[in-house]
Each structure stands twice: as structure tokens, then as C-alpha cells.
Structure 1
Amino acid sequence: MSQIFISLFPLLALILGGYLLHHKKILADGFWSGAEKLNYYILFPAMLFSQLATANIDFALVQSLMLVLGLVFGIACIALYLIRALYHTPSARFGVYMQSVVRFNTYIALAVVAALFQQPGMTILAICLAMSIPAVNIVSVVALTDPEQMSFIAIFKALIKNPLILSCLIGALFNASGLSLWVGLNHLLHQLAICSLPLGLLCVGAALQFDQFKAALWPLFINTFARLLIMPALAWLVCIYVFDVSLLVMQVVVIFFALPTASAAYILTKVLNGDSQLMAAVISLQTLCVAFTLPLVIWWVI
């Protein structure tokens, strides 16, 4: 357990550091806005492209991950839509609940998997991200949009403009082409990737808004419990009893589903007129609680 804490300590310290730097006004608000854009449009896509373009991808592994991820996400979405039908939840709130359960914080994912499993784990995670990022973006937009206002063309345009989706697609195509990256470009991408993780974790901390906890405590705790404990348990059951994947794949997938929801969920919720206050509270509570739940999940699967 002590080794797990040592592995997680740097990322928890960076998140706390981002929170203190922002809320103590040590850095101007404009810095955080610029840092988020830099990471979202340049640094993080460079990391995703590099991981996928240079990975030794086993297509049997891709197929296994597609089945596991599809089943876990499918069960979660069906359960949420059944609950919506039962309680007649409006789109503004249902979109928050959906994102709370299916979205994931990629910065924390990469930091944890890199610390625990190095390159073999990072390859598995990169494939998970490449398949999950487009899927959860589609599901999130649909959940936040009233059926009568839904436009598939608008959703498609939003997806093809997403830098994370584009970097995954281009990286996968480059890998399939059989070409190799020029050494100088590979080193540049490596340096950009190194910058992405600590900056991303600082931005995660800066985005925390604990003053929003008054926004509906019961939904907050239900969503946090579902995301941080039920989802990894479901992933473990699917990996062990349905598809019987390798130990490393099971470990990475379970940890992937034990992550808090994405900070970017707040922006999407606000743009699509969802309950952004509730979304901010969910993001903050999940990010706070993951410091306690993630070590337990890691201890469980390792």
C-alpha cells in the first residue's frame, strides 16, 4: 500500500498545488485559461499522437479492449437511461449524470498508469483513450440535448473539430501506415508529452470549486459512488468473468474506470445549457474523493 501511495503522491501534490496557486491568486486567472488551451490543443494531442503512432499495437488486444469498453459503457448508459425514464430527469441534469459516470480525467489516467505500469500499460491506455474519447463525447452531447433540438450534423462537426479525437485518429492511421517518425520529431513529441501531464494536473486542481457542494448533496454522492467504485467493480467483473483478458489489461481497464470525471465536462455542460453548477460540484467532489478510492482500487487489482 505504501508503494501505491508513493506512486500517487506526485499527481495528488500537483492537483493540490494547482488548487492553492489558483485560489490564493498567486497566478492570474488568465494564466489558467491559457494553460488549459495550450494543453488541450497542443501538448495533450501531441502525447496521444505519439503514444498511438509509435505503439506496437496488437489487433487482438484492440478487439478485446473494444468488447470490454463497449460492454461496460453500454451497461452504464442503459442503466442511466432507465433511471431517467423512471424519474423523468430533464436533459440539463441528465447530461450531468451521464458525464459524471462515463467521462474520465485523462491527465490523472496517464499519470497513474505511467507511474504503475510504464510503457506496456501506457500502450493499453492509449488504445482505451482512442476508442473512448469519441464515444463519451457523443454520449455526453446527446444526453445534454433535448431530443427535439438534436442535430446529428452539429454533433459530427463538433467531434471532427475535437483535437483529442483528431490526434487519436491521425496517430492510429500513422501507426497502420507502417511509417516511422523522424527521430527529431519523436524527441519533440516526447518533450511536449512530458510538459502535458504536470500542467494538466495543475489545471485540474485550479478548476476545483468546492463552494458548489450545496447544489444537491444526494445526487453528488450517488454519482461519486457510481463513478469511483461501481464502475471499476463492473469493469473487473467484465474483464474476469466475461472476456477473461490478461492481468495487465484488467489492471489498466479497472483503473481507467476508477478515475474521476473530466474537468472539461463543465465547459460542455455550460455551452449546452446544462446544470453547470451541479457539474462543477460533481467534478470537484470526485476529484477530492479519488485520493481515497483510487489507492483502494489499485491495491485491489495489483
Structure 2
Amino acid sequence: MGRLDQSFIKSGNDLVFRICLPSMLFLSTASTHLSESFDRQLIGFGIALTLGSIALLSFVGRRWLRKGRLRVFVQGAFRGNLGIIGVAMVVNAYGESVLPKVGVFFAVLTLLYNISAIVVLGGGQGRGLVVSLAKNPLVKAIFAGSIWSMLSLPVPEVMHTTLSYLSDITLPLALICIGAGLQWRSFQSNLVPVAWASAYKLVLLPASAVIIGLLLHFEGQDIGILFMMMASPSAAASYVMADQMTDQGAMAGEIVAMTTLASAITTSIGLYVLASLNVLGL
């Protein structure tokens, strides 16, 4: 309708990347008791699965995608919306008692996701990588929140309320900017990598998490956490970072849009199948 121009999209993305998303990451990490709910096996498996995914996607994608599109393809396919959709699904399934466990899982993987995204999008270039990590507002927020949590510092009510307001803006504003920035011509030219990234994110990754998890004797709640976290759609932050660090922001937005729309179907089917097989511990 022409109501949102490129200036709004650019300013909105910058606001999400530098203020809103860091506020959400700091608040969620600072409010989590990291030491009390650290499940080494579950977190270790999540880390291994993520790093394995990045290696596999990079190896496969390298054969048919040029560098810029390859980096966005890899990030969109491995990086899930854990904090907003993944955690919400797990808590809805198992109740608030699971929040400390899934909260630590989320905090560790979010840090890994952001560091990995910087490596992938930046090409992993030596000193430039270290500088990018040091300057990245998302990494700063997670480290600050982790230190806050380890020192057991309370979050003052005024601070909590302010950060909550900013956190609540994150997903709606990011999705508005994604929608406003979608271009049909770009979508047509990116359709194949976007479709493959979406298929990996919504089907292959969660299926692999469950199958390998069962072979490693994970069961019940742990299988549920793995499935629901890995089956979440691509994170809106993947679009924000790609838009800031590459010239392929449109493709990143298309992956987020497609996975967000399709995840309602794929996640529902996956939960139905797993519940029928009695492996979720519900």
C-alpha cells in the first residue's frame, strides 16, 4: 500500500538490532539461573547439532550458491526463533516448571547462534571476526546478562519494566520490516535456496534432533525440548543481521517469512506424530 518506505525499514531494522533485541536477550539471560539448571548432556547435544548443521549446510550449499547467498542460506537454515516461539511452545507443553531448564538451553544456544551467525555472515576472517564479535550488540547483551545472572544480581523493577517494553517490540517490528521489505521478484529468484533452507529448518533439523536424541537415550521432556526448539521457524534476528552485514537481506527475510508461515503446519504434524509414539513424556 506504500505506507512503509525504505527509510522506515532501515530505521526499524536498526532499532531492533541495536536496542530491542539486545534488551530481550539481556533480560532473558539475566533472569535465568544458569548454574542451577545447566543440563550438560542436553546443551552439549544442542551445540553439536548446531555446529554439525552449519558444517553440513556450508558443504552442500557451496556447490550451487555464491558466497553472499550461501552465508544467508546457512544462517537461515540453522538459526531458530528459540526465545519467542521455541520457549513458548515448550512451556505450553510442560508447564512453567520446565522454564529454568529450557531457559539455560535457550541462553547457551542463543549465544552460539549469534557468534556463529557473525562467523558465517562475515566469512570468519581472523581479526575482523574478533572485532565484529566485540562490537555486536547481541553478543554484548548476552555476555552482560550472563554476568548479571552469575552474580545473582536482582533486576530492579523499573529496569525490568523498561526492558520488557523494548523486548515486546522486537518480534512485531522485525516482522513488519520483513513484510515491508519483501519483493516478489526477489522471492522468485531466491525461491530454490529459500525453499531448501525452510525444509531443512522445519523438517530435517527437528527430525534429526529427535532421531539422534533417541539413539543417545534422551527421553520424555528432553525429546520434547529438542523437537520444539529445533522446529521453531528461522529467527527474525537472522534477517536483521543479514540486512546489516550482507547485501542479501531480502533473501533472509524470505526465509523467515516462509518458515514462520509453514511452521504452524510442520510443528503440529511433528507433535502429533511424536505424541502418538508416546516419546514426549506428556
- The two structures have a TM-score, normalised by structure 2, of 0.77
- Give the equivalent residue in structure 2 for 1:152: 126
Of 125, 139, 161, which aligns to 1:165? Answer: 139
Please give the alpha-carbon distance, in whole angstroms, between the structure 1 residues aligned to 2:73 and 2:41: 28
Preserved contact between residue 108 and residue 201 of structure 1 (Cα < 8 Å): no
**Matched letter for residue 232 of structure 1:** P
CA deviations 1:190-221 (Å, max 9, x no partner) are 44434444444444544444442321543332
- For the pair 1:226 / 2:200, whether they are aligned, the reply is yes
**Matched letter for residue 112 of structure 2:** A
Query: What secondary structure is seen at the aligned counterpart in 2 of 1:49?
Result: helix
Please give the alpha-carbon distance, in whole angstroms, between the structure 2 residues aligned to 1:216 and 1:197: 24
- Give the equivalent residue in structure 1 for 2:69: 93
**Matched letter for residue 256 of structure 1:** M
Preserved contact between residue 74 and residue 197 of structure 2 (Cα < 8 Å): no
Preserved contact between residue 194 and residue 254 of structure 2 (Cα < 8 Å): yes
**Matched letter for residue 214 of structure 2:** I
The 5-angstrom pairing of residues 129-148 of structure 1 reads: 129-144=106-121
Please give the alpha-carbon distance, in whole angstroms, between the structure 2 residues aligned to 1:276 and 1:47: 22
Structure 1, gaps ≥5 residues long: 1-23
Residue 168 of structure 1: CA displacement? 1.6
- For the pair 1:255 / 2:228, whether they are aligned, the reply is yes
Structure 2, gaps ≥5 residues long: 276-282
Preserved contact between residue 175 and residue 236 of structure 2 (Cα < 8 Å): no
Q: Give the direction of change, closer, same or farther, for the CA distance of 1:145–1:186 in structure 2 (3 Å limit).
A: closer
Residue 281 of structure 1: CA displacement? 3.7
- For the pair 1:288 / 2:265, whether they are aligned, the reply is no
- Give the equivalent residue in structure 2 for 1:48: 25
Q: Give the direction of change, closer, same or farther, for the CA distance of 1:49–1:265 in structure 2 (3 Å limit).
A: closer
Residue 177 of structure 1: CA displacement? 0.9
Residue 144 of structure 1: CA displacement? 4.5
Residue 277 of structure 1: CA displacement? 5.2
Query: Quick one: percent identity of the two aligned structures?
Result: 21
CA deviations 1:251-274 (Å, max 9, x no partner) are 233222112323444454456556
- Give the equivalent residue in structure 1 for 2:278: none
- The two structures have a TM-score, normalised by structure 1, of 0.73
Higher mean C-alpha displacement, 24-33 vs 167-176? 24-33
* Aligned pairs, number: 274
Query: What secondary structure is seen at the aligned counterpart in 2 of 1:213?
Result: helix
Please give the alpha-carbon distance, in whole angstroms, between the structure 2 residues aligned to 1:35 and 1:144: 21
